[in-house]
Amino acid sequence: MADEQRVLERERSAVDEAWRGLDENARLPAAAPPKTVPAEPLVPVPGQQIRAVGQRATRPDSRYHGLGQTRYIDDLALPGMLHAKIKRAGIASARIKRIDTSAAESMPGVMAVVIGREFPVNSFGPTFQDQPVLADEVVRHAGDGVAAVAAVTEQIATAALEKIVVDYEPLPAVFDPLDAMREDAPKVHPPKGNICHSLAIRRGDVAKGFAQSDHIFEGRFTSQMVEHVSIEPHAAIAAWDANGRLTVWATIGRITLARADLARTLRLPMNRIRLIGTIVGGNFGGKNEISQEPALALLSKKAGRPVKGVFTRGEEFIASTVRHPFIMDYKTGVTKDGRILARTARLVLDGGAYCSWSETTLGKCCVLAPGPYKIDNVRSEAIVVYTNKTVAGAMRGFGAPQVCFAYESHMDDIATALGIDPLAIRLRNAFEEGSPSPTGQVLQSVVVKETLLKAAERFGWEVRS
Amino acid sequence: MKRRGRGMACMWYPIGFTVAANPSAAVVKMNEDGTAVVLTGTVETGQGSLAVLGQIAAEALGIATDDVHLVSADTDATPMDCGAIASRTTYVTGNAIRLAAEDAKSVLFEVAAQVLGVAASQLEARDRTIQVKGFPRCSVPIGEICKRAQITLGRPPIGSASWNPPTVALDPESGQGKPFSTYVYATQIAEVEVDDETGEVEVLRIAAAHDCGTPINPMLVEGQIEGGISMGIGFALQEEILFDGAGRQINPNLTNYIVPTALDMPEIDVDIVQNYDPTGPFGAKGVGEPSLVPTAPAILNAIRDAVGVRITSLPATAEKVLAAIKAKRGDERKQIPA
């Protein structure tokens, strides 16, 4: 009897052990509280002397990331929260004749539907407010949203999009930026022409510079459209309180501007909007302005419940902003020994359907286009044009990676033709402390040559004979 | 046959917005024990900006990085900021936080001046104390000063400030002006291997020498450069959104739009070039965007060095490189006299 009991006891405790082990193992990292708190400060504090600048200090968020404790928007839920989806036009240029949302609205589980004309002000944009939150009259690119749905589940919201009927009258479209510049091209924003913005920088006399040059080199370079591909897609939650105050949690890198845009589109005083920037899972310029937030706010108001929206990966490509494709014509006059006497750069930027950050991109690339070189005679001209394509906006570098590709490829072509080492030709022309920039600015803390020499040293660059 | 080549590219890049004002504001609140809370409207977007901003506050207050906590990105609680854009956070928000810390410190100095019996101008904050310059023994723990300021004198040490990079508008005719307060510089050199039978390009290693002014946190500077290079490789060789004839994207997914992964990363050798910009917080400028700028041309120049073809349209996909190699061979064959 006693033996039996002992066996039973042992078996029971073995099962308990196993369960305990399972429980430990079954814990998902995202749900597990940290088992220890750091006893020591995360950053070594050496004795009395404290120098904070220059330390390889641990980031305050590294433990959260390492332990899977970081809460992104997709990890957040509010009681009664609904899920939103946006119907995309799928046609690049069209007039909207009719939107019928009745079948979607009558679906069980659908709590609210909004269309463009319900917004107090249906436009936004950092420079020109030419982009609708949801297109109401005209679709200007295939990723334009035309209606938004909030439902109790994401699946129902997605299914409801299929029930929304939109009648389009196709309009002529233009996709090539050089075609878009022609007088007879279809206008993306009629009656305005397709030239969204232009800028020119002139210094010295390029004609004289070319006349004095021993050699003149020309080249055309083009770059493609790319996406930011942040791991976390655009995501936001909107919720109203009993005082009519709106709180929006959003993956946005510029909360001050985003609140101003929300206040404008919803016609709300700013003190009735609280915008909380959550931990952003990658921005790279793609999350610098509002996108779906006004739609979520309106859906939430109509449904009387919090509403979350998370872009699909497909929407990240078609409905968020992308990097401007460039067409770049360079012409450079040099002396026999590779000194640049004159350079012209003509840039055409494909801005897509709306202005977004095109003006900023234009300004930066136009200033930077001649490269980090002392050139007395410079002309840099840049034009950004509207096309019926995905909206080009802010992306890490604002046009600089495109022009750097052109001026540095061009530089190597010149070096090869003249038989000069690529390092030597750059050292011969690079900015120095106090050099004037193409806009006539006296540059300070200039270390182009130092970076050239350091990189060459690290790489083991040897001059080939 | 696999052929190796090398290519370099250098660049310049501005910090902050083009001409347009882009201020940041900040608030620094000292606690009774000498630790601090910083309020900033910028957003941590994964780059580690809160660590850098905390280090700037700590340096200005003479306390440890761990003594600073940052509250960020809430329009109800934090002061205005133009945000995590244009490589401006360290430079602009950093300057605002440095000035806000100086503002809070001026209260501490007033209080400490009474305790130590010297003029406030004779004091400095370091090693978690307020001390007489050059006389570290003549010091009071910063916590005591904070407590005294708040509890005895009723003057809580709170500082606030804003900063905007100075610019001059561009002349509408000539484009002359001062569009940016400061710029950073960099050079990257790539070594690649090109398979001349398939056109495939592998980036073997990149040496990257970057100027960011004073590196506030060298580890995070290196992180930015490594991340930028990965983005630059995608821009140079792989990524491209393609459209059908009707203006619809045909590859809006990660199966047909290929971004670089860890397996595509080359060996990276980072050099942070010594520099100091007097207009930046403790000499710092920025590094976020520039890290990607010279990567693509360095790779494209290396392709030319390896197989002698100049690809003038990005990205340099295997198909494009192979077609260029074949065209070049065709040209060379034609040159043989009959």
Q: Distances from the Cα of A33 to the Cαs of A28, A29, A74, A78, B212, in angstroms?
A: 10, 8, 19, 21, 38
Q: Which residue from B205, B239, B294 is facing A408, i.e. has the nearest CB?
A: B294
Between A281, A360, A454, which is nearest B17 by CB?
A360
Which of B58, B290, B312 is facing A409, going by the closest CB pair?
A: B312
Give the residue among B333, B297, B290 at the shortest CA–CA distance from B315: B297
Threshold 0.90, pTM exceeds: yes
For chains A and B, CB pairs below 8 A equal 385
Query: B99, B163 in Cβ contact below 8 A?
Result: yes
For each of the domains in chain B, give its residue range(s) and CATH number, in order of start. 2-14+181-334 (3.30.365.10), 17-163 (3.30.365.10)
A-proximal residues of B, 209-228, CB under 8 Å: 209-211, 213-220, 228
CA B82 from chain center: how many Å? 15
CB contact under 8 A, A59 and B51: yes
pLDDT in tens, A196-239: 999 999 999 999 999 999 999 999 999 999 999 999 999 999 99
- Compare CB distances from A389 to B186, B247, B273 and report the shortest one's residue: B247
Which residue intervals of A42-176 are DSSP H helices?
62-66, 102-105, 154-163
Give A-chain residues touching B11 at CB under 8 angstroms. 368, 371-372, 400, 404, 408
Burial of B202 (0-12, 13-18, 19+ CB in 10 A): middle
CB contact under 8 A, A229 and B257: yes
Residues 314-333 of B with CB under 8 A from A: 314-315
* Distance in Å, alpha carbon of A10 to nearest chain B alpha carbon: 49
For residues A136, A137, A143 and A149, what is the CA-based torsion angle, rounded to 10 degrees?
20
CB atoms within 10 A of CB A48: 10
The tokens of B321 are what? Answer: 């490189």
Query: CA B160, B162, B165: angle at the middle one, nearest 5?
Result: 160
Average pLDDT, chain B: 96
Yes or no, beta carbons of A202 and B174 under 8 Å apart: yes
Residue B333 scores a pLDDT above 80: no
Query: Cα–Cα distance between A307 and A80 in angstroms, integer?
Result: 9
Do residues A48 and A211 lie in contact, with contact meaning Cβ atoms separated by under 8 Å? no
CA distance A258 to chain B (A): 10
Chain A contact present for B76, CB below 8 A: yes
Q: Tell me the per-residue pLDDT of B236-260, one tens digit each, with 9 for 90 and over.
A: 999 999 999 999 999 999 999 999 9
Contact flag B174-A257 (C-beta cutoff 8 Å) = no
Question: Which residues on chain B are in Cβ contact (under 8 Å) with A454?
Answer: 187, 209, 271, 273
Hey, are the CB atoms on B218 and A56 less than 8 Å from each other?
A: yes
Which chain B residues are closer than 8 Å to A143 by Cβ?
A: 249
Does the distance separating the beta carbons of B239 and A226 come in below 8 Å? yes
Residue of B nearest to A315 (CA): B252
Asked if the model's pLDDT at residue B278 lies above 80, the reply is: yes
Is A142 close to B315, i.e. CB distance below 8 A? no
- Percentage of the residues of chain B whose pLDDT score is greater than 70: 99
Identify the closest residue of chain A to B210 by CA–CA distance: A451
Three-class SS state of A425: helix
Mark yes or no for CB contact A285/B85 under 8 Å. yes
Q: What is the mean pLDDT of residues B70-77?
A: 98
Within 8 A by CB and 6+ apart from B208, the residues are A455, B186, B187, B188, B225, B229, B268, B269, B270, B271, B291
Residues A208, A342: Cα–Cα separation, whole Å: 8
Contact B7 A278 (CB under 8 A): no
* CB pair distance less than 8 Å for B277 and A199: no
* Best of A188, A347, A409 to mutate (most B CBs within 10 Å, chain B): A409
Collapsing DSSP to helix, strand or coil, A205 comes out as coil
A 10 A CB-CB count for A353 gives: 28
Q: Of A374, A379, A389, A405, which to mutate for an interface test with B (greatest number of B Cβ within 10 Å)? A: A405
Chain A contact for B5 (CB, 8 A cutoff): no
Domain residue ranges in chain A: 74-170, 182-227+321-459, 235-317
- Optimal mutation site among B237, B293, B320, interface A, most CBs of chain A within 10 A: B293
Using an 8 Å CB-CB cutoff, list chain B residues near A456.
8, 187, 189, 207
Reduce the DSSP state of residue A97 to 3 states and report it: strand
Q: A165-170 and A94-100 as β-strands: parallel, antiparallel, unpaired?
A: antiparallel
Using pLDDT thresholds of 50, 70 and 90, give the confidence band for residue B331.
confident
- The tens digit of pLDDT for each residue in B18-31 reads 999 999 999 999 99
Asked whether this complex has an ipTM greater than 0.95, the answer is yes
**What is the CATH class of A235-317?**
alpha beta
Contact A252 B43 (CB under 8 A): yes
* B13, B65, B186 member nearest A52 (Cβ): B65
Chain A's closest residue to B66, CA to CA, is: A43
Whether B127 has its CB under 8 Å from any CB of chain A: the answer is yes
- Selecting from A316, A317, A439 the residue whose C-beta is nearest the C-beta of B170 gives A439
What CATH code is assigned to A74-170?
3.90.1170.50
Residue B269 has its nearest CB partner, among A360, A366, A458, at A458
Tell me what pLDDT residue A3 has.
Answer: 72
Interchain contact, A445 vs B207, CB within 8 Å: no
pLDDT at A255: 97
Name which of B164, B162, B161 is nearest B22 in CA terms.
B164
Residue A247 corresponds to which tokens in the numbers above?
A: 């709180």
Query: Considering B102, B289, B319, B332, which one is annotated as catalytic?
Result: B289
Identify whether B289 is a catalytic site residue.
yes
Domain A74-170 shares a fold with domain A235-317: no
State the DSSP string of B222-236: HHHHHHHHHHHHIII
Using an 8 Å Cβ cutoff, are A342 and A333 in contact?
A: yes
Q: List per-residue pLDDT tens for chain A, 465 residues long.
A: 567 777 667 766 665 665 555 444 444 444 445 555 554 444 444 444 468 999 998 898 988 998 989 999 999 999 999 999 999 999 999 999 999 999 999 999 999 999 999 999 999 999 999 999 999 999 999 999 999 999 999 999 999 999 999 999 999 999 999 999 999 999 999 999 999 999 999 999 999 999 999 999 999 999 999 999 999 999 999 999 999 999 999 999 999 999 999 999 999 999 999 999 999 999 999 999 999 999 999 999 999 999 999 999 999 999 999 999 999 999 999 999 999 999 999 999 999 999 999 999 999 999 999 999 999 999 999 999 999 999 999 999 999 999 999 999 999 999 999 999 999 999 999 999 999 999 999 999 999 999 999 999 999 999 986
User: Looking at residue B337, what is its pLDDT?
Assistant: 75
Q: How many helices (H) and strands (E) does chain A have?
A: 13, 15
Residue whose pair of structure tokens reads 């929407």 in the numeric block: A315
Nearest chain A residue to B222 by CA distance is A56
Assigned CATH for A182-227+321-459? 3.30.365.10
pLDDT at position A32: 47
